[in-house]
Structure 1
Amino acid sequence: MDAPLAVRARGITKCFGDVVALDGIDFDVAPGHIHGLVGPNGAGKTTLLGLLLSLAVADEGSLEILGAPVGRNLGGVAGFVDGPGLYPSLTARQNLAALMGLHGRDRKTPKIDGVLGEVGLTDVADDRVRGFSLGMRQRLGLAAALLTEPRLLVLDEPANGLDPAGKKHVHGVLDRLAAEGTTVVLSSHRMDDLEALCSEVTILATGRVVFTGPLGKLSAENGELDHRLRTSDPGKARALVAAAPGVRVADPEADVFVVRALTPALDELVLRLAKDGIAVRELAPVVSPLEAAFLALTEQPEAGR
């Protein structure tokens, strides 16, 4: 028998006064996946994450988490919205010990040292949190969530303020959790983070779902994309590209130029270049498929149009 969805939302509506934050959305997350939530400011991402963490209640619709209606079973869910709640006057270790106490667990458990090490904060475990950078606070918030061994982890901008090494560290933690069966729902404005981590994404705009599904499907539906093309023989490549079917070229006089095409046409172009002995040294999207789709699906028409 198939495992229940980690999240199943149907017709979820949430209003704050006259403001409709979520407008009848459907939202599914499969167990053991990292699911990205993306949208412009005010799209409803924070509201949806708050519902998943039982910080708010929907006005309409049904929401099931880990196979049970929300509110029936709060166990197995952890995370943070708008940054983790921490005690600045306490150390990192003391913050986690206080959390363990709230959950009725032994504050001296070795698990505290384990999660601090997992998020790369062992060296600052006894430093007061008031001196932590934004990235260090985000990592401590992740450590706090890991203490409860959640089956659903909900994170709001977990890579916010992280340097490249810290981001790589956090990505590794989330990848491991998903591989072990934990479901992760995260929001981010960093398209590169979402593309590196997520198997599926949901794009929100003005409180509605405008896309949900695998990243591969999003790329396939996105149409033509601009790609930077750099080769071992720009002159010869320029002539070949100009004659390639389904390919348009910008900056044709440059050594590194931009081509626009659907994926099949790009594949055929690469094969033709290789056949003519031209090495492709770079073929990369100018804008990532996720970012291009995000802009296309959430762009608002200008007033007066």
Structure 2
Amino acid sequence: MDAPLAVRARGITKCFGEVVALDGIDLEVGQGRIHGLAGPNGAGKTTLLGLLLGLAVADSGRLDILGTPVGRALSAPEGVAGFVDGPGLYPSLTARQNLVALAALHGRDTRTGIDAALEQVGLTDVADDRARGFSLGMRQRLGLAAALLTRPRLLVLDEPSNGLDPAGKKHVHGVLSRLAETGTAVVLSSHRMDDLEALCSDVTILATGRVVFSGPLGKLAAENGELAYRIRTSDPLTARRLAADAPGVVVDGTGTRPGDEALVVRALVPALDELVARLVRASVAVRELAPVVSPLEAAFLTLTEQQEADR
């Protein structure tokens, strides 16, 4: 990467008894980048996030955060904030009081930054409501506000979109994107492939404690091979006939919806482009063209299933 690295991990291993949670992990996260972590349950995502937050230390390997090697002490590195397994909040305190308590813990002036953090995550209207009455999505946003209060240079988040409605998710996505634009590095885990595709410039896929892919999303899509695509047109019968005759295109019976006349095909992108051109030349209007499964989700399934098979 051309930008300075916020995270540089080499050969990180972490075991809990006989369970190997992380097995020789390499990871690079540039400043001003949003880096996604994906993987099935038990892949090691939460353990890795815990190492970045100073909640655990690696058994072996080297971890540099914001240019400083991480030692053996359990402490959050300077300039790092975030949460794993949900934010820790005081349920009997209001949203504002929770942030005041956090600011005091960090030795900050409680009069500054709190209102701005609440406004940033869209909680100004409930600032004086007790956290015990908050929904999951509101608690996630309050946890994000708590992290923002420290003005981190590396923000580490575990499933930040949990419990958010579409408007709340859009709001949080905007906050994270603006942070990255100002140079903050963001590492987030999610089971939602659409969140990762919408937010992340890079992604690391873990399976059984190992990295099975790490790099830009564009590279992942390019290496993924054939995908299934749904195509809705103005003339389904002609579209099906043209698809059946198109080189490199396989008409697929999966992915259709009951009562839907959409055509599902499996093809590489160049063959798909040629099919669309044929449809246009035949005066067939293309009304919808989308992957049945997103490139990230398809690669995720392929890579993690292959890793499980190789164990």
- With the shorter chain as reference, the TM-score category is over 0.9
SS of the residue 2:5 aligns to: coil
Report the AA paired with residue 39 of structure 1.
G
TM-score normalized by structure 2? 0.93
- Structure 1 residues 233 and 79 mapped into 2: Cα distance closer, same or farther (>3 Å)? same
Aligned to 2:186: 184
Alpha-carbon distance in 1 for matches of 2:50, 2:290? 36
Aligned to 1:9: 9
Q: Which runs of 5+ in 2 are unaligned?
A: none
SS of the residue 1:6 aligns to: strand
Residue 224 of structure 1: how far off its partner (Å): 0.6
Please state if 1:94 is matched with 2:97: yes
- Which deviates more, 270-279 or 39-48? 270-279
Residue 250 of structure 1: how far off its partner (Å): 2.2
Aligned to 2:61: 61
Q: How does 1:152-301 map onto structure 2 within 5 Å?
A: 152-251=154-253, 255-299=261-305
SS of the residue 1:74 aligns to: coil
Alpha-carbon distance in 2 for matches of 1:300, 1:101? 49
RMSD: 1.9
- Structure 1 residues 46 and 219 mapped into 2: Cα distance closer, same or farther (>3 Å)? same
Report the AA paired with residue 8 of structure 2.
R
Report the AA paired with residue 44 of structure 1.
G
- Structure 1 residues 3 and 239 mapped into 2: Cα distance closer, same or farther (>3 Å)? closer
Alpha-carbon distance in 1 for matches of 2:203, 2:77? 24
Count of aligned residue pairs for this structure pair: 302
SS of the residue 2:204 aligns to: strand
Q: Structure 1 stretches (4+) deviating beyond 4 angstroms?
A: 300-303
SS of the residue 1:145 aligns to: helix
Residue 218 of structure 1: how far off its partner (Å): 0.6
Alpha-carbon distance in 2 for matches of 1:4, 1:259? 42
TM-score normalized by structure 1? 0.95
Q: Which runs of 5+ in 1 are unaligned?
A: none
Report the AA paired with residue 84 of structure 1.
P
Alpha-carbon distance in 2 for matches of 1:80, 1:74? 13
- Structure 1 residues 197 and 102 mapped into 2: Cα distance closer, same or farther (>3 Å)? same
SS of the residue 1:299 aligns to: helix
Aligned to 2:46: 46
Report the AA paired with residue 281 of structure 2.
K
Aligned to 1:35: 35
